[in-house]
Amino acid sequence: MNIFPAALLLLLTSAASAQWKIVDSSPAADPSSPLIYERKTVSRTGETGFFSAKRIDLVWFNASTHTFRVIDNGGGTPLFPDLVTAMRENNCLAGVNGGFFLKNDAPSGLMISAGNETGKFGTGGLLSGVLLSSGNINPYLLRRAEYSGSKYKPTDLIQAGPFLVDQGAKVKGLSPNNSRRRSIVIHDGGKWFGIGLTDSLSLDQLGEILATPGFSPARKIHRALNLDGGTSSGFYLNRGEMLEPIHVEPFKKVRNFVGIVPRG
């Protein structure tokens, strides 16, 4: 008996069921805002039910007018009571939680906030990416091997990882386990950078979604970096005077935040 047709049909069916359906659910935006807000609703083809659809919120900014700011939340007692306060007191239009940290609240890897260094430049998969602002002007999203302190002269920096997307393709070897809320940083390869928050997804799922052609038609995602996730994940967006801010607070105290500010 020739079982090849049946096996091929099963393979094709499995591939089709694994495809993602991506719907743009972005609300109306304030035309005066310098930021571009996108909300995506994603689901697996063939899946149904209340929890089958996942939300991904993204905020894009142009590097010619804005950049990243790393906000130190202090070790021990937090310097800010919540994400909203941290953003507002540091003149950030939007922001997310930042990188990983240790049990003693020390940052995992190097952190630079307002020119002040804490921790050491580290290695490992969770520190494979470097997010920085050079002289509080140009933002960068780099591989660890691409970074040089003497070259970039950062005033703001965190290490995080793993990379989810690089060169427009999903990074190989991402874990399919441990679905959880995720915070991310993205770059289109040119002038546009962004931050985001997702509903519960695995690293492998999120990498696949972000690398999907047409996920963000106006700005294809060239690189995407995972930040600290799960209970650390938070998101803030000031949508202007006429609209309520979008705000998702981390469930626990975090060591740092990443904000979007006008270039100095």
For the stretch 183-195, pLDDT in tens is 999 999 999 999 9
- Domain residue limits, the chain: 21-262
**Cα distance between residue 254 and residue 264, in whole Å:** 26
129 CB contacts (<8 Å, ≥6 apart)?
141, 142, 143, 144, 159, 160, 161, 162, 163, 185, 225, 226
DSSP state of 232: G
- Per-residue pLDDT tens digits for 133-175: 998 799 999 999 999 999 999 999 999 999 999 999 999 999 9
Mean pLDDT of all residues in the chain? 91
Nearest to 27 by CA among 19, 18, 36: 36
**240 by DSSP, 3-state: which?**
coil
Q: How confident is the model at residue 203 (pLDDT cuts 50, 70, 90)?
A: very high
Query: Is 8's pLDDT higher than 80?
Result: no
Q: List strand residue ranges (DSSP E) for the chain, in order.
A: 20-24, 36-44, 54-62, 66-72, 94-97, 111-113, 116-118, 129-134, 138-143, 154-160, 163-166, 169-170, 180-187, 192-201, 223-226, 235-237, 246-248, 256-262
Helices marked H in the chain: 4-17, 83-89, 149-152, 203-210
Query: Is 81's pLDDT higher than 60?
Result: yes
Give the bridge partners for 260, in sequence order. 68, 94
* Planar angle of CA 197, 203, 204, nearest 5 degrees: 130
φ/ψ (deg, to 5) at 52: -75, -30
Nearest to 129 by CA among 94, 103, 153, 165: 165
Q: How confident is the model at residue 52 (pLDDT cuts 50, 70, 90)?
A: confident
pTM, to two decimals: 0.91
pLDDT the model gives residue 49: 65
